[in-house]
Amino acid sequence: MPRVNYEAPTSVEDAVKILAGASGMAKVLSGGTDLLVQLRSGRIKPDLIVDTKRIPGLIGIREEGGFFVIGAASPGVMLSGHAGLEHAWPGIVEGADLIGSTQIQGRASLAGNLCNASPAADSVPAVIAARSTVVIAGPGGRREAPAEAICTGPGRTSLEKGEFIVEFKIPKPKPHQCDAYLRFIPRTEMDIAVVGCGTNVTLDAGGTCVDARVVLGAVAPTTVIVEDAAKALIGHKLDEATLAALDKAAQAACKPISDKRGTIEYRTKVAGVLARRTAAIAFERAAAR
């Protein structure tokens, strides 16, 4: 590995100062499960690593107002260990929990998964489907942005120099609202998603969908919010016709590539399958509330 500098600031302000003042490439280290792999393989050669885990609040989950506020560097194991969050948003927890092995779960964070900006990131679709926002600190102070605004393409984010994510704000579910996340991988663990799908639905008392968000991963340069898939669900119960329309809408939204993990044709078909399967789970969960 090439030589690099390391800083571990203990306040948001110091971190911003270090990041903004860095000459050369500075990378934020939260869980490090992507960063260290890229570092070792020589894919990136940063001059400075800024470890954010020593900043108070960057690790931890609190409930505040109508939100779960999740510290950006909180490891996956913390999310799956949080009973309130798991009950509220099982899909978000499932997505975060699917990132890598138990060992990876001890480190990998939501912010890292989002800012690594892979379209296949497992934690991202359900977070976006829940209409979450992220709080960003930077030289200009703090700003808030929808989670879907961060990743702009493979490996690219909308964060400016000196900016980093401090926390995620995830709204608490409304009555009869719930989510689900599924991904397809060739094995049962340890693969990158060939397709991922997060579905978040709100039902009325009779089981008809009144609001929905369907988000696909790994089928385009960024995650995709499939408006037509939501439309296929809203105003309907989960019958065969609805599922067929959902499947079609999900497939239509796919603009994947063929690569070592899947073909265009296969990814498109499986996107439809996962849209149906996540909808079925989310509907069942929402109806049970």
Which parts of this chain interact with other proteins (CB under 8 A)? 1-6, 8, 29, 32-33, 36-37, 39-41, 49, 51, 53, 75, 77, 100-107, 184, 186-192, 194, 260-263, 265-266, 269-270, 273
**What six digits make up the tokens of 75?**
């490891």
Angle made by CA atoms 21, 25, 27, in degrees to the nearest 5: 90
Q: Of 39 and 134, which CB lies nearer to other proteins in the complex structure?
A: 39
**In contact, 264 and 155? CB cutoff 8 Å:** no
CB of 192 to other proteins, least distance (A): 7
Q: Which DSSP symbol is given to 239?
A: -
Choose between 29 and 114: whose C-beta lies nearer to other proteins.
Answer: 29
H helix intervals, 83-181: 83-88, 90-97, 102-105, 110-115, 124-129
Residue 136 contacts residue 165 (beta carbons within 8 Å): yes
Contact 276, 251 (CB under 8 A): no
Measure the CA angle with vertex 140, ends 13 and 60; round to 5°: 45
CA–CA dist 264, 268 (Å, integer) = 6
Q: Which is nearer to other proteins, 96 or 225 (CB)?
A: 96
Q: How far is the CB of 176 from other proteins (least distance, A)?
A: 28
> In the 8-state DSSP scheme, what is residue 153?
E
Of the candidates 22, 205, 213, the residue with the CA atom closest to the CA atom of residue 127: 213
- Least distance between other proteins and beta carbon 109 (Å): 12
Of 17, 4, 6, which Cα lies nearest the Cα of 164?
A: 17
Considering the complex, what minimum distance in angstroms separates the CB of residue 26 from other proteins? 13
Nearest CB to other proteins, comparing residues 120 and 225:
120
Nearer to other proteins, 57 or 207 (CB): 57
Query: Given the complex with other proteins, which of 72 and 136 has the nearer CB atom?
Result: 72
CA distances from 144 to 59, 60, 132, 164, 170 (A): 18, 19, 10, 11, 12
Nearest to other proteins of 69, 104 (CB atom): 104
Which among 220, 190, 35, 31 is positioned nearest to 98, based on CA atoms?
190
Both tokens of 12, joined, read: 């948001």
- Give the pairing type, strands 61-64 and 133-138: unpaired
Q: Which is nearer to other proteins, 21 or 140 (CB)?
A: 21
| The two three-digit tokens of residue 78, written as one number | 């913390």
